[in-house]
A and B are shown apart, each in its own frame.
Chain A
Amino acid sequence: MPAAAPGRGKLIVGLALVGSIVLMAILADVISPFDPYQQNLRLRLRPPMWNEGGSFAHTLGTDNFGRDLLSRLIHGSRLSVMVGVAAMLLAASLGTLLGLVAGWRGGRAEALIMRLADAQLSIPEILLAILVVAAIGGSALNLVLVLGISGWMVHARVVFGLTRSLRERPFVEAAVSQGASGAFIVCRHILPHLLPVMSVVATLQVAQMILQETALSFLGLGLPPPAATWGNILAEGRERLFVAPWIANLAGASIVLLVWGVNILGNGLRERFDPRG
């Protein structure tokens, strides 16, 4: 029997988990049983169906305003996935561009960009994110901008290192000697070589972005209530932890499932592209 391709199991588990959550986010309006913002004060803090007093109508129970928890969690997946992916895309674009410039041009551009990356890396993103979001407010766009701009350094470092070593390779030298422009060589000969590693870094970063977004929401710095985000639901559940622990726990479990799925997917990709690692 031939050995299974490296990372296959992880790729399958990760893809299945992340795929179903993304599907849930896309179909949120269709599959959620209730309007996530519809309040019903007579049905406050109903437990999930498996607890005493729960009912099939509200499968996962209701929150402090009688809103259906399942519907809120389904809609919450939307924001987490969207913010996580969008912030990663922004960070990856910025980082790749700067990393390519630093690695290809070398010299002063390299010194400036990589020194900036070092400087920004030594300050945890969340610290400055808290400060900036507190000042400009937590809209989805602001969250993406803040998280994206504070996360470019990983990409830049990886792209920089690979670009510098690729620059010495014969096929790049051949292209240079034929008079190809720098931009052409970078797009045609260097970028394709970077894609596998970049995809691993990008996937693992989505997990970080989601965690940071939910952390900011939890601290009250994400989308303002009543927005149904996982961090908000968890923060609201914390207020009622003694009487309705299921609210916080179900939101927490949702976050863990998504982030864990993304991490597994990223690790699977890494094993596939770099079996030694």
Chain B
Amino acid sequence: MLHYILRRLALVVPTMALVLLVVFIVLRITGDPAELFLDATAGPAEIAALRTRLGLDQPLPLQFARFVWDLLHGDFGTSLSHQAPALPVVVERLGPTLQLVAAALGLAVLLGIALGLVAASFRDRLADHAISAVAVFGQSMPSFWLGLLLIQAFALELGWLPTSGSGTAAHLILPALTLSAFLLPNFILVTRTAVLEAKREAFATTARAKGLSPMRVLLRHVLPNALNPIISVLGLQVGHLIAGSIVTETIFAWPGVGRLMIGSIYQRDVPIVAAAVVVVSLVIMLTNLLVDVVQAILDPRVRI
């Protein structure tokens, strides 16, 4: 088990290196930082001095190494609009994002498994066709329009829920619904396929032959064996869920990392954007790692 975790951890390193490389290249494309920091009256000598001080006169690989070194020490530069180090500003906004993602994930898992089970139990009947069709339609639904539709229905027409913002549980409902719709179609389809496959196995036939009720066979024998592919999809999709929250937060003015990131792009606040990308990538990778470890605990075959 320890061996598996270590091997899996080794995968994080090249991925993080890739992210840092892209961030580094983007930072250099956006312009010479030395000219950005100094005002227009600065002469060439002053610019050259600052370039030397920031290490910008050194070869690019060396600059990259220095960049990574600074990041490892939590130094992402200073945010221009917040007048503060970038990393704490980003980390502070991580809480609301994780809250939103957790709520959406819970919704998607519960609804997805339930609907997938129903579709698999009524294979090729009306319920199955209806659920599968809705799932394919859901995959074609851009979350930004779904969010606007939910606002129109539940905030403008019915007046039950606030249009945007945060603070109360009611504020969480619409964003969480919007974000979970991002994952729900996949969960439904994968659960359906996995359950159908597990139902064909010998142990399911045995359970039925013992005279167990169909419900008991489904929930105690089939579902636990169908969980593995579902968890795999969860691991693959959780990153997309966190990235999807960027759009959702923008629609609902949710005070998370995504909205901070988009706002900072408009304000050209590069250190914040870079820190947000690195932090979000790190969170995604740690979640993937967690999912893989859980899967390895549940199913020893994975550890090989």
Q: Which residues of A contact B (CB under 8 A)?
A: 115-116, 118-124, 126-128, 130-132, 134-136, 207, 211, 214-215, 218-221, 234, 237-238, 241-242, 245, 248-249, 251-252, 255-256, 259-260, 262-264, 267
Is B151 touching A241 in the complex (CB atoms < 8 A)? yes
Given the complex, which residues of A lie within 8 Å of B281, measured CB to CB? Answer: 123, 127
The 8 Å CB contact of A256, one of B26, B142, B250, is B142
Q: A123-B18, A130-B261, A131-B277 are in contact. Are A136 and B243 (CB under 8 A)?
A: no
For the A-B complex with A119-B11, A251-B145 known, give 5 more contacts whose Cβ atoms are closer than 8 Å. Answer: A127-B246, A215-B247, A219-B247, A256-B142, A260-B136
A122 to B139, CA, bound (A): 20
Given the complex, which residues of A lie within 8 Å of B37, measured CB to CB? Answer: none
Nearest CB in chain A to that of B289: its residue: A122
Shortest distance in angstroms between B39's beta carbon and chain A's nearest beta carbon?
23
Given the complex, which residues of B lie within 8 Å of A256, measured CB to CB? Answer: 137, 140-142, 145
Is A134 touching B136 in the complex (CB atoms < 8 A)? no
Shortest distance in angstroms between A136's beta carbon and chain B's nearest beta carbon?
6
Q: Mark B142-168, 1 if CB is under 8 A from A, else 0.
A: 111100110110001000000000000
Q: Which secondary structure characterizes the binding site on chain A?
A: helix
Is A126 touching B11 in the complex (CB atoms < 8 A)? no
Nearest CB in chain A to that of B247: its residue: A215
| Closest CB pairs A-B (n = 10) | A252-B145, A124-B243, A260-B140, A119-B15, A259-B140, A134-B265, A135-B26, A218-B144, A119-B14, A127-B243
Given the complex, which residues of A lie within 8 Å of B243, measured CB to CB? Answer: 124, 126-127
The 8 Å CB contact of B142, one of A122, A255, A262, is A255
Taking the complex as formed, is B280 at the interface, i.e. its CB lies under 8 A from any CB of chain A?
A: yes
Taking the complex as formed, is B103 at the interface, i.e. its CB lies under 8 A from any CB of chain A?
A: no
Given the complex, which residues of B lie within 8 Å of A260, measured CB to CB? Answer: 136-137, 140
Report B16-50 residues with CB < 8 Å from chain A CB: 17-19, 22-23, 26, 29-30
Taking the complex as formed, is B77 at the interface, i.e. its CB lies under 8 A from any CB of chain A?
A: no
Q: A127-B281, A135-B30, A252-B142 are in contact. Are A122 and B262 (CB under 8 A)?
A: no
Q: Which residues of B contact A (CB under 8 A)?
A: 11, 14-15, 17-19, 22-23, 26, 29-30, 136-137, 139-145, 148-149, 151-152, 156, 236, 239-240, 242-244, 246-247, 250-251, 261-262, 265-266, 273-274, 277, 280-281, 284-285, 288
The 8 Å CB contact of B149, one of A214, A252, A255, is A252
Given the complex, which residues of A lie within 8 Å of B284, measured CB to CB? Answer: 122-124
Is A126 touching B18 in the complex (CB atoms < 8 A)? no
Is B15 touching A211 in the complex (CB atoms < 8 A)? no
Q: A119-B15, A219-B246, A256-B142 are in contact. Are A124 and B22 (CB under 8 A)?
A: no
Given the complex, which residues of B lie within 8 Å of A131, measured CB to CB? Answer: 22-23, 26, 273-274, 277
Given the complex, which residues of B lie within 8 Å of A207, measured CB to CB? Answer: 139-140
Q: List 11 A-B contacts (CB under 8 A).
A: A122-B239, A124-B239, A124-B240, A124-B243, A126-B243, A128-B22, A130-B262, A131-B274, A234-B148, A249-B152, A252-B145
The 8 Å CB contact of B156, one of A238, A242, A262, is A242
Shortest distance in angstroms between A3's beta carbon and chain B's nearest beta carbon?
14
Q: A123-B284, A131-B26 are in contact. Are A214 and B277 (CB under 8 A)?
A: no
Q: A127-B280, A215-B247, A256-B142 are in contact. Are A119 and B18 (CB under 8 A)?
A: yes
Given the complex, which residues of A lie within 8 Å of B26, measured CB to CB? Answer: 131-132, 134-135
The 8 Å CB contact of A249, one of B23, B143, B149, B246, is B149
Shortest distance in angstroms between A167's beta carbon and chain B's nearest beta carbon?
24
Which of B137, B140, B156, B281 has its CB near the most chain A CB atoms (within 10 A)? B140
Is B148 touching A241 in the complex (CB atoms < 8 A)? yes
Shortest distance in angstroms between B302's beta carbon and chain A's nearest beta carbon?
15
Given the complex, which residues of B lie within 8 Å of A221, measured CB to CB? Answer: 265
Shortest distance in angstroms between B13's beta carbon and chain A's nearest beta carbon?
9
Is B148 touching A134 in the complex (CB atoms < 8 A)? no
Is B265 touching A130 in the complex (CB atoms < 8 A)? yes
